[in-house]
Copies of this chain bind each other. A is one copy, B any other.
Amino acid sequence: MTSPPRDETQTPPEEATALLDEDRLREYCGVFGVFDLPEAAAYTALGLHALQHRGQEAAGIVSFDGTRFHAERRLGLVGDHFSHERTIKRLPGASAIGHVRYATTGETMLRNVQPLFAELNSGGFAVGHNGNLTNAQTLRRELINEGAIFQSTSDTEVILHLVARSRESKLIDRFIDALSHIEGAYSLVVLTNGKLIGARDPLGIRPLVLGELDGRYILASETCALDIMGARFVRDVANGEIVVISHEGIRSICPFPSRPARPCIFEYIYFARPDSIVHGRPVYEVRKAMGVELARENRIQADVVVPVPDSGVPAAIGFAREAGLPFELGIIRNHYVGRTFIQPTQAVREIGVRLKHSANRAVVSGKRVILIDDSIVRGTTSIKIVQMMRDAGATEVHFLISSPPITHPDYYGIDTPQKEKLLAATHSLEEMRREIGCDQLAFLSIDGIYRAMGVGRRNDRQPQFTDHCFTGDYPTALTDLAAENRAQLSLLAEAS
């Protein structure tokens, strides 16, 4: 809750955000935890680096050295700060949790960077959260009325206060007490003076896996964070499960009534890293399968299949193979655009998308192009990419999307624009095609995506996945939304 000396040689967050592809969904967060492993903070930094795709705005680590907790929280990439030995040295101890974060609104504040920490009468309590609570604002107001002082605008802090105020005597019971009040999506890692705790919401909306290295347990959002350090995948933490890791070993608690899992389907479409295995499914193979289904649903006369890099590549490989057409890199991505390239003056500002992507004219010119992307959000980038193909000489542009149209916003930790800004929520397919300027536009069907997931078809009474972005079928109550207080407003404006 403080003002750091802003280093103006770095791009200010607001500008940097402007650079990020605004026409993308974003995941809020990734979490990692390790217990009883020497150099815990160094391993946590590695794990967070592997989870960097889940949040690029800020990162934090809290370690415990047996006596004291140590925290470092920074804006920027994991590698910007946590790869420095001097930072890691400030995080001694054999247990640590970490967090990477992306924030939706302009409120890029250091005080929101996780893990959050509270000093309870039982000792320290640090928590990192992936997901979003749907009744956080309602709870926050109640807690303030009772005299709680909030340090952040984060929904996660509600959990801290609920634990601090619980009248249960044992810490784990206080934690369960706290979870019993919250709604929404959460995969949590918690560090106390003696325990590493993992918890997933009753539907298992966000992922959380258990791994093992040198006989010590690890928690992570995705398996890729295990792979980077040569750790072994043990199992997914189950929906509704709490795992308590201590020097006595691991204990599993399922305090709430059992329900079928309903993981978020967007992890497969876009968020998870292609080399991760989510709930037993290799993400890369699922994406190729989406491309295959897309090709089966759309038989097109064309010369070349071109992915929108990088997320469209696996689906394009699947598509090209199923369609018997050549797969070509018709769009080249500039790897140096980083977070920092702001178009400096008006005259060159329109250059926009070319800063990141350029057409590979040799591949595209004079060709009928099938362009494969994973999703359309606002459609603003799609317009530019299609135009870029035409400028490079494509005679036809068939724009195929390897997931269904996004028609509803998310409230579980994905940053979606308001419904009015979602292209598919306000336009018919033909209107979208005209807006985007392609010769043909097609989306994968709901059935197609469930087939690609390997579950036959959608069970409409009890859907196998959280898929409200396509269907409007929200899996939990939306208390704050109903109370019209969804926005996390703070009375205090502070850069940090």
A residues with a Cβ closer than 8 A to B are: 1-11, 38-39, 42-43, 45-46, 49-50, 52-53, 56, 60, 62, 68-85, 87-88, 90, 109-111, 113, 117-121, 123-124, 141, 144-145, 147-151, 160-161, 164-166, 193, 224, 227-230, 273-275, 277, 282, 284-285, 310, 313-314, 317, 321, 326-329, 332, 334-338, 340-345, 347-348, 351, 354-355, 358-363, 490-496
In the bound complex, residues from chain B placing their C-beta under 8 Å from that of A282 are: 360-362
Most chain B beta carbons < 10 A, residue from A38, A62, A148, A491: A491
Q: Are B147 and A83 in contact (CB under 8 A)?
A: no
Given the interface contacts A2-B111, A358-B228, does A335 sit within 8 Å of B335 by beta carbon? yes
Query: If A334-B50, A491-B124 touch, does A45 touch B344 (CB 8 Å cutoff)?
Result: yes
Identify which of B329, B341, B360, B495 contacts A79 (C-beta below 8 A).
B341
Given contacts A2-B109, A83-B341, list 5 more A-B pairs with CB under 8 A.
Answer: A1-B117, A53-B335, A77-B338, A85-B345, A227-B361
Query: Is B361 within 8 A of A275, CB to CB?
Result: yes
CA distance A227 to B355 in the complex (A): 10
Task: Write the nearest CB–CB distance from A118 to chain B, whole angstroms.
Answer: 4
B85, B111, B273, B491: the one within 8 Å of A344 (CB): B85
Say yes or no: A348 contacts B229, CB within 8 Å. yes
Which of chain B's residues have a CB closer than 8 A to the CB of A496? 2, 4, 73, 110
Residues of B within 8 A of A493 (CB): 68-71, 90
Residue of B nearest to A6 (CB): B9
CA distance A151 to B274 in the complex (A): 39
Query: In the complex, which of the residues B275, B321, B348 contacts A359, with contact meaning CB atoms closer than 8 Å?
Result: B275
In the complex, the answer to whether B83 meets A343 with C-beta atoms within 8 Å is: yes
Bound complex: CA A77 to CA B39 (Å): 32
Q: Taking CB as reference atom, which chain B residue is nearest A65?
A: B493
